[in-house]
Amino acid sequence: MPSSEDAPSISVITPFFNAEDTIRQLLLCYSFQDIGVPWEIIFVDNRSTAKTISLIKNYEGDLPEYKIVAAIEFAGAGYARNIGVDNSSSECLAFCDADDEIPHTWVSDMLEGVK
């Protein structure tokens, strides 16, 4: 685990299943987040057969630290979210679905809400 200085202030968990038609907008929204502290995204692949992972990797330079983890034992967003929690590096958690669109202050607003 990173030192407390380097640890993400918040982990945003995003489960997905074949989200190539919707996740582009969310990736763009993530790339424009206005937050002055480290944060991370946990993308949770819940049995996708599509090219969603490739789309995420295309945004690599524009996103904060992120992980792509597999949730393949069961289908369903709840299971995928739990896998995301298990792989997060922060005690503060937020959840955002692959078809969401969020304002540029969303992550900082979520962090402010748990302080």
The ranges assigned to domains in the chain are 11-114
CA distances (Å), 86 to each of 7, 11, 45, 50, in order? 15, 11, 14, 24
- The yes-or-no verdict on residue 1 having pLDDT over 50 is no
- DSSP count for the chain of H helices, then E strands: 4, 4
Q: How much is the pLDDT for 5?
A: 64
- The yes-or-no verdict on residue 89 having pLDDT over 70 is yes
How would residue 64 be classed by pLDDT, with cut points 50, 70 and 90? Answer: very high
Q: How much is the pLDDT for 61?
A: 94
Helical H runs in the chain?
23-31, 52-58, 77-86, 106-114
CATH of domain 11-114: 3.90.550.10
Q: How much is the pLDDT for 6?
A: 76
